[in-house]
Amino acid sequence: MDKKAFATKKQIQEIVEKYPTPFYLYDEKGIRENAAKVKQAFAWNPGFREYFAVKATPNPFLIRILREYGCGADCSSLTELMLCRALGMGGEEIMFSSNDTPAGEYALAGQLGGIINLDDITHIDFVENILGKLPETMSCRFNPGGVFTLSNGIMDNPGDAKYGMTEAQIFEAFRILKKKGVKRFGIHAFLASNTVTNDYYPQLAKQLFELAVRLQKETGAKVAFVNLSGGVGIPYRPEQEPNDILAIGEGVHRVYDEVLTAAGMGDVAIYTEMGRFMMGPYGALVTKAIHEKHTYKEYIGVDACAVNLMRPAMYGAYHHITVLGKEDRPCDHVYDVTGSLCENNDKFAIDRALPQIEKGDYLFIHDTGAHGYSMGYNYNGKLRSAELLLREDGSVQRIRRAETPKDYFATFDCFDFYGKLNGEG
């Protein structure tokens, strides 16, 4: 598939008059169309809810848009919970799927009335001690172990993953929770990441539905929902075929009828916790070429670096790059596109065929709307960028300002370090 940028060079030239590069740009139209499609894909299930994985893109403006489509929030930390509280979210709009969880985070999740998804059987006592009494609705995270394989060869290794309970533990956990007064139960599993295939959710669903039937039968615990979690992928590479969420919804529907409806459990709600699929394609990191360097390789230096987008440096992840205004030029130059960190892995692309790039060109780094900005950090004293929303009407709204040196120095205690730096102290 041809990957098209959702903004033109002209639009970017207008934006930079007010907001300098680098910045994240999000596409409201794309976010809305996709969210509506997700809702439609699971409309057959009356209890369906997508809990947006906040860690993917923790921006209240974007979460508020998703909420218009019925989305809740999947939180995994204190500040993510606080962000959702600030948006007025609470009760079963919040899923708390964390692991290695500090006490204070369970306390806030409980206070907000969110659904607590336990990563481990030992957390039953831990949560009970913190909350005094367990909520009436609880969820448990399942890890089947071994290797998870899909027909197209996608594999992941649940057996090596730190998450979730073994099958024996989840049966035991349900029995204990039931004894302690829990009335509604959920199960959750996340077995493969960034799956670009329509088969992942249906295959996972079948496994979880069969488990749900056995759990309910053998423990008497009422299974109210099955949470398919995240893992639905996006085509980072242009040659990949995008997932069809309507086909995925239908695939889950089919196994739902085969397994759950057939077992008399046709009232189970389906939950999802997609992050990447909800937001990934609808965000871009926009950066400017500021240097070119010709040594043993050809380098283009840009004004963003790995602190703005860590995925290439951390996982060797591919992010497609469009040189704005040069969409139709031949890709007859091979570049490493680098940031300025004192780290040789600070490269957004290695040996990438691109049109000839000149200083001042704007590079649109695709598919960074999820796990992009949010993975940012401050190495080399670099600062996080702004986040901008390209509205449906073409206007641009700043939804997070860029960090300033003052933000960076703000955590030094004892004296006004920033004032001293500026000769003010």
Ligand X SMILES: *Cc1c(COP(=O)(O)O)cnc(C)c1O
* Sites of contact with ligand X (CB under 6 A): 53, 55-56, 74, 97, 190, 193, 229-232, 273-277, 370
Q: Which is nearer to ligand X, 55 or 352 (CB)?
A: 55
Taking the complex as a whole, how short is the minimal distance between the CB of residue 334 and ligand X, in angstroms?
31
Q: Which is nearer to ligand X, 21 or 34 (CB)?
A: 34
Taking the complex as a whole, how short is the minimal distance between the CB of residue 276 and ligand X, in angstroms?
4
Taking the complex as a whole, how short is the minimal distance between the CB of residue 74 and ligand X, in angstroms?
5
Taking the complex as a whole, how short is the minimal distance between the CB of residue 166 and ligand X, in angstroms?
18
Taking the complex as a whole, how short is the minimal distance between the CB of residue 331 and ligand X, in angstroms?
29
| Torsion 310-314-317-318 (CA) sign | positive
Taking the complex as a whole, how short is the minimal distance between the CB of residue 274 and ligand X, in angstroms?
4
AA identity, residue 218: E
Q: Which is nearer to ligand X, 80 or 273 (CB)?
A: 273
Q: Which is nearer to ligand X, 186 or 339 (CB)?
A: 186
Q: Which is nearer to ligand X, 74 or 367 (CB)?
A: 74
When CB distances to ligand X are compared, the closest residue is: 230
Taking the complex as a whole, how short is the minimal distance between the CB of residue 304 and ligand X, in angstroms?
22
Q: Which is nearer to ligand X, 209 or 277 (CB)?
A: 277
Q: Which is nearer to ligand X, 28 or 273 (CB)?
A: 273
Taking the complex as a whole, how short is the minimal distance between the CB of residue 99 and ligand X, in angstroms?
8
Q: Which is nearer to ligand X, 189 or 321 (CB)?
A: 189
Beta-carbon contacts of 335 under 8 Å, excluding residues fewer than 6 positions away, are: 298, 299, 300, 349, 351, 352, 354, 357
The candidate with the shortest Cα–Cα distance to 186, out of 232, 136, 122, 151, is: 136
Question: How many angstroms separate the Cα of 144 from the Cα of each of 105, 147, 150, 208, 346?
Answer: 26, 9, 15, 10, 36
Taking the complex as a whole, how short is the minimal distance between the CB of residue 168 and ligand X, in angstroms?
22
Taking the complex as a whole, how short is the minimal distance between the CB of residue 106 and ligand X, in angstroms?
15
Q: Which is nearer to ligand X, 89 or 337 (CB)?
A: 89
Beta-carbon contacts of 212 under 8 Å, excluding residues fewer than 6 positions away, are: 187, 223, 226, 260, 265, 268
Q: Which is nearer to ligand X, 196 or 341 (CB)?
A: 196
